[in-house]
Structure 1
Amino acid sequence: MQNARQPINRWLDRLDPDGSRYLFNGICSQWEQIVGPEVAQMVSPLARKNKTLILGAEDNFVLQEFTFMSQEIVDRVNEFCGSVFFDKAHVELLKGRTPLDQIQVLKPAVKTKAKKPPNLGKLGDTVPSDSPVWRVYRQYVDFFNKKA
């Protein structure tokens, strides 16, 4: 039997040949340590596009300030990477997007239970049995009868 490590490594190498995804995940998870807690509260990584780091800011004031500071952030990130990973940073408004350095918690979908109508099945005699309406109504009745 073949060692599982070799095919998995080949598959991962095809997905991320230069290791940039793995490195970017490290940047996102270590964001506060890279830029400091004060900066991390105001801007967060949103994405990367080629050699551009895309950051998110909550408001226009922060956006403008960090647009001027973007080269300092790029220098800190490149120092963390040990190479020139980004050559510039672009700051955008978050607009409800979840930054990549935060864990997104999704609310579970709440399902409401359908209430069984009191006169279920009594309308079957009033509709011709060969009509499409009758077939749909039969499915509707069967839906509630299966639950009971």
Structure 2
Amino acid sequence: MASLGFDLLDRHVVSGGADDPAAGRLTFARLLERSASLASGLGMLGVRPGDEVGVQVDDVDRVLVVCACIRIGALPAPDGVVVVVAGDDGPVVRVGDDVHPLDLVRQAGSGDAAMALADDTEGYRDAVLRHAADVVEPLLERRPVL
């Protein structure tokens, strides 16, 4: 079985669904591109497989962050050492006392976008579904989230 990160987006892109709507105005291909870049940027900030990332944003930003976390095996959860929250000028990533605009983290990772993990750890898929089924289930079925 492929990893959840691959099943979520890559599988649909390679099977002909690249231009299908995924979230808001984003297609599966565009969501894959953005989430892979953000995943790489989160990795640059120290996020590793198994880490919990607090996802405290809504709409397309939430979908993007959840997909990025899954891509690198981090767990999108309500709280974590790294937290993505709404800021005055848009979503930000908080790591301790450091605050980074989400778009800059994504741009930083765009030069070396993260590949989906080959395998998930035991229980990972179930843990993700407990926190983010509203995002994961439609995408797995190649349906738009928003």
Instruction: Tell me which of the two structures has the higher relative contact order, counting C-alpha pairs closer than 8 angstroms and 6 or more residues apart.
Output: 2
Give TM-score scaled by structure 2 length: 0.29
